[in-house]
Amino acid sequence: MTSGNRNNKTKFIFITGGVISGIGKGIVASSLGRLLISCGYSIRQVKIDPYLNEDAGTMNPFQHGEVFVTDDGAETDLDLGHYERFTSVSLTKKSNFTSGSVFRAVLDKERNGSFLGKTIQFVPHITDEIQRRILEAAEKDRPDFLLVEIGGTMGADIEIQPFAEAMRQMALKFKSENRFLNIHVVKIDYVFPSDEAKTKPIQHSVRAMLSLGLQPDVLVVRAKRPIEEENLQKISLFCSIPRNRVVEALDAVNIYEIPLALEEKGLLKAVLGAVGMKTNKKCRLDAWAKQYKKTLSKKRVVIGMVGKYHNHPDAYISVNEALHHAAAANNVSVKIVPIDSERTDLAARLKKVDAIVVPGGYGYRGVPGIIKAIRFSRENKIPFLGLCYGLQIAIVEWCQNMLGWKDAASSEFGLKTDHPVIDILDSQKDLQKMGGTQRLGAYPAELLKGSLVWRIYKPWHKGRGSIEERHRHRFEVNPKYHRDIFAKGMVFSGLSPNRELVEFIELPQKSHPFFVATQAHPEFKSRFMEPHPLFAAFVAASKTRQGKMGK
């Protein structure tokens, strides 16, 4: 990628949020990243989470949504998934940090005597550590832009204050060099029952920023309908932000429309102008626009997602998005039907879908229903894709119903069994801590030549048969049972290089059109502009079945 920053000094763009939480800072940051890339600029991204957890790894999906995993094994906030899907730039451990990790680092230095007996304070010690991490994220690649998103709501969340102070200090250092910019994401309010638009919450949010010593340079204003010019002028006047840097951000049909909409409303021009860069550079969004149009196809496949975390809309977000990417690659759209594995009407719901996917998870709750769903897909030749937990339960189902071991189970479930066909890794058995101790990050797999998986991944392995996917789990297919499982007809189409761990399974296509599962999480590597081949093949199989059924 070419660099538009001739002196190679990174410009820092901080994305903050006001008025309410969950306002869409991550999508704004992701969209801006795509816009900058489309103009030939290089970028990196960082997400700062003010909570005290050291990372997102131990957080419940019901509370915080999905945990996203990078190649180097970082368990991160789900916004990093958006960053990668929009920009196709793979991120690292340096791309996400929390208050907890910052405090631990400073206290560890204090215990080791690094501060030479000084009194440890938020300023300068905590704020210096925050700035060090931000600068470190830009050091290796020296991108034109480092986009830094600060989680939470500015002026409302106590835990944000150290980060706001670090941000203020960076503004003091870099703003005079046109190397610092703050984009503040807010929303216009609507009064019930008149539905009249009100700008006052936005004004209060910007004043809260001013009280922290920060003046936003660009406002992105979320709205459910076009904002009247009078209100945009009012926002500009009372927030002391030029009108051309107040950018309207309307609700979109889907998230992949947003970069196009924000470009049309002038976000890129506002950002480049605010850091003293030319704004007449030609940006290339044609390919993105073409891919987006594919997501609107009236031809649609219906995929049932059988899981147990459906109460949180973001619990399976990477799987959802990977399916949308794959649908676009097949010139169809996709309807994802959440199917709670604990429901009593499971069979009736499964009959209405074109394919079934079982995503990741933990524990025994809901497992009997997942076993029934996998058996239903296997016996009725409905395309099936199992992801991590989905592979493990597919093995359990196979052993129970094909090998006749009715007590077959995973040792994770805590059930009494003579056939623990899924068991914990030996390296995991003596661990006491939960956080950061799973099998995490990218691991290689050697694919069985000629298998369905081998053919699907051929664009990646180019005939060599070796690929890498990201992992997040503790349990594996028990090597003790490999021979019995294989002898009954299950194909181990991908193994670890030492051939001890099962990475992919499949059924021969003569007995099932598409029955594939992986111990990995391939959804983490799917990009909007680069749909993952495994998901693309799965949706293609769904489309084929739909055609044969005459739907």
Q: Got the DSSP string for 448-470?
A: PTTSHHHHHTHHHHTTS-EEEEE
Which residue out of 324, 325, 521, 532 is catalytically annotated? 521
What is the Cα–Cα distance from 517 to 385, expressed in whole angstroms? 5
Beta bridge partners of 14: 148, 182
- Spell out the residues 6+ positions from residue 325 whose beta carbon is closer than 8 angstroms to its own: 85, 526, 527, 528, 530, 531, 532, 535, 536
Total count of residues recorded for the chain: 551
Report helix angle 533-549 to 317-329, nearest 10. 70
Which residue out of 75, 503, 523, 532 is catalytically annotated? 523
Contact call for residues 409 and 403 (beta carbons, < 8 A)? no
Report helix angle 79-87 to 317-329, nearest 10. 20
What is the Cα–Cα distance from 390 to 324, expressed in whole angstroms? 20
Q: Got the DSSP string for 52-106?
A: SSSSSTT--HHHH-PPEE-TT--EE-THHHHHHHHH-----GGGEEEHHHHHHHH
283 in catalytic set: no
471 in catalytic set: no
Contact call for residues 430 and 456 (beta carbons, < 8 A)? no
CA angle, residues 34, 39, 42, in degrees to nearest 5: 70
- Spell out the residues 6+ positions from residue 182 whose beta carbon is closer than 8 angstroms to its own: 13, 14, 16, 167, 171, 209, 214, 215, 216, 217, 218
Q: What is the largest CA-CA distance in the chain?
A: 76
- Spell out the residues 6+ positions from residue 408 whose beta carbon is closer than 8 angstroms to its own: 396, 399, 400, 417, 419, 421
9 phi/psi in degrees, rounded to 5: -100, 115
Identify the three-state secondary structure at position 148: strand
521 in catalytic set: yes
Tokens coding 105: 């680092």
Contact call for residues 534 and 518 (beta carbons, < 8 A)? yes
Residue with tokens 């394919």: 355
Which residue out of 39, 239, 388, 399 is catalytically annotated? 388
Any idea which residues carry the catalytic annotation?
388, 521, 523
